[in-house]
Amino acid sequence: MTGRLPNFLHLGAGKAGSTWLHEVLSLHPSVYLSEAKDLYYFSRYYSRGTDWYREQFAGAGPQHRVVGEVCPDYLASPHCADRVAATLGTDVRLMVTLREPAERAYSSYLYLSKHGLAAPTFRQTAHDSPELIDEGRYGSQLADFARVFGAEAIHVALFDDLQNDPQGFLDGVTDWLGLERQPLSPEQLEAQLPASKARFLPLARAAQRSAEFVRQHDGAKIVGRVKRSALVQSTLYRQLGDDRPQISPEDLAWVRSELDGEVSELEQQFGVPVRARWNW
């Protein structure tokens, strides 16, 4: 049996800079992250067993004080908190990066749209796929993890800070992990994989389905390498610049009304002033 089990997990949320964080932290000399982001072990592939999961970290050496995984699927997935504790114990370090829920939901809608998986409108897509809104129920989701690990074990970061000051955001993460700070290059200061649109929808849809098939057949490492390929990204998608669609004021108000209680619970439990930060 090879590999070390993680002592660090980034749980989510989706569409909140997890790809950027995975790529940047992977370069830290004291950090070893699984080659593939999004292993989905605790959410989708728990039946593969602990030995399989351990093998995903076979490259970790004694110089790696932090061994971990970035998978934004975990925060909103039921049973994850208990599964993490059963596998890794309760001393594991947990991190979340939270994005304003309406913006996060709309970003997820754009992602579905570029793969041809969305309804004609955001509201209809949210009706057909309730997880679009449910993934923003941060208060309830974090309460589940706090129940198992305690609130002090969870580092709560905000996507707003990543956007405004990537270096400061990363410094906060490495300080919390007890690691030396890691200066970012000019390229790393730019967010990766910005919102984009498929150049040819059938090809993008086929690529997305192929990625899911490969994951299901234990090919997460292959998917990770392909997703990091600039050539693949530029071939399949074009970035949305000034013409990036924006959520309508009516849909913004609707999402916020659906999740107002979740934001209140988040503030009360973790003391993060998100209502002011997100202009609620």
pLDDT digits (tens, 9 = 90+) for 245-275: 999 999 999 999 999 999 999 999 999 999 9
User: What is the pLDDT at residue 235?
Assistant: 47
Neighbours of 147 (CB within 10 A): 11
Which residues of the chain are under the pLDDT cut of 70? Answer: 1, 191-243
**Domains of the chain and CATH, by start:** 8-271 (3.40.50.300)
User: What is the pLDDT at residue 193?
Assistant: 45
Q: 34: Cβ–Cβ under 8 A, 6 or more apart, which residues? A: 56, 57, 68, 69, 220
Helices (H), the chain: 18-25, 49-55, 80-88, 101-114, 122-128, 131-134, 138-149, 159-164, 166-177, 201-216, 220-227, 230-236, 249-270, 274-277
User: What is the pLDDT at residue 222?
Assistant: 54
pTM above 0.85, yes or no: no
User: What is the pLDDT at residue 192?
Assistant: 47
- Kindly give the pairing relationship between strand 237-239 and strand 196-198: antiparallel
User: What is the pLDDT at residue 200?
Assistant: 41
User: What is the pLDDT at residue 189?
Assistant: 81
User: What is the pLDDT at residue 153?
Assistant: 93
